Amino acid sequence: MPGKFFGIGVGPGDPELLTFKAYKALEQTEILCIPKSSGDKESLALSVVSKMLSREFNYLELHFPMSMDAKVLKESWDKAGQAVAECLLQGRSVSFVTIGDPMFYSTYGYLLRYLKNNHPDVETQTIPGITAFSACASYLQIPLVEAEETVAVIPAAYGLDKFRDVLDSFDNIVLMKVNRRFDDVLAELEKLGLKDKAVFISRVGYPEQYATRDLDSLAGKKLDYMSLIIVQKRRD
């Protein structure tokens, strides 16, 4: 009988934000999948798990290239999916852990699709995690939306060409993955007169978490991957 496959969101980084449901699933996990890209120095998701569970796991590293080539990406997803399937078909329980939520900008979705298409008899379960922007709003103690307000979430790395249209259409905007495009984002906010409506947050949930409304102070600096900007047009 095949093992069970879990997709587990471990939250934004604070181990205490790992849900009890996620904790219970990890307790019954035999093999822990660790997603890695060529630029990763550490697995952020694994660091959260390691702080909350002292038990040992068998690890399966899954490599995902930082590429925009659809063919390259599909090949890596299929290869990773088959590696997971082989473990499951041996009757072993497997968990894929991801920072934040597994259904929000996560490679987990591609693995899940592969298993459903190629191994439909495998039992799967997805356990949600707290998203970074939700944790950031709580850290800042500002409502992300109120009353009839609207919100959009876009990746700055890929969605900057739509940035102006999104800013025109929504009251509140969350810009994910701003580290590599920060200066471009800053220039757009300056043009639109929205710089004073924005706040930058980095590594929320970690001891070095940081937030500032002085975006000019960050221009030209190397910023952490786990950074985002919240723009609220109606708020002071």
- Domain shared by 189 and 162, yes or no: yes
pLDDT in tens, 23-45: 999 999 999 998 876 555 668 88
pLDDT band at 162 (very low <50, low <70, confident <90, very high): confident
For residue 20, the surrounding DSSP H or E stretch is helix 20-27
pLDDT band at 136 (very low <50, low <70, confident <90, very high): very high
Q: What's the confidence (pLDDT) of residue 38?
A: 55
Distances from the Cα of 172 to the Cαs of 99, 101, 210, in angstroms? 23, 21, 20
Q: What's the confidence (pLDDT) of residue 36?
A: 75
Domains of the chain: total:
2
Residue showing tokens 């924005």: 198
- Kindly report which listed range (23-37, 62-76, 94-108, 114-128) carries the lowest average pLDDT score: 62-76
Q: What's the confidence (pLDDT) of residue 216?
A: 98
Mean pLDDT highest for which of 23-37, 53-67, 75-89?
A: 75-89
**String of b and e for 111-129 (b: at least 16 CB within 10 Å)?**
bbebbeeebeebebebbbb
pLDDT in tens, 164-177: 889 889 999 999 98
Distances from the Cα of 221 to the Cαs of 19, 46, 175, 182, 215, in angstroms? 34, 28, 18, 9, 11
- Domain shared by 167 and 207, yes or no: yes
Encoding tokens for residue 124?
């799967």
What span, in angstroms and rounded, lies between the C-alpha atoms of 176 and 143? 18
Name the residue range of residue 41's domain.
Answer: 5-127
pLDDT at residue 156 tops 90: no
Average pLDDT, the chain: 92
More confidently predicted of 1 and 23: 23
Encoding tokens for residue 158?
């890929």
pLDDT at residue 14 tops 60: yes
User: Of 95, 127, 159, which residue sits at a domain end?
Assistant: 127
- Domain shared by 98 and 190, yes or no: no
- Overall average pLDDT of the 11-32 stretch: 96
Q: What's the confidence (pLDDT) of residue 189?
A: 93
Q: What's the confidence (pLDDT) of residue 85?
A: 97
- Domain shared by 154 and 111, yes or no: no
User: Of 111, 127, 143, which residue sits at a domain end?
Assistant: 127
- Domain shared by 34 and 109, yes or no: yes
Q: By the 8 A CB rule, do 108 and 96 touch?
A: yes
- Domain shared by 107 and 88, yes or no: yes
User: Of 127, 143, 169, which residue sits at a domain end?
Assistant: 127
pLDDT at residue 159 tops 80: no
pLDDT at residue 12 tops 60: yes
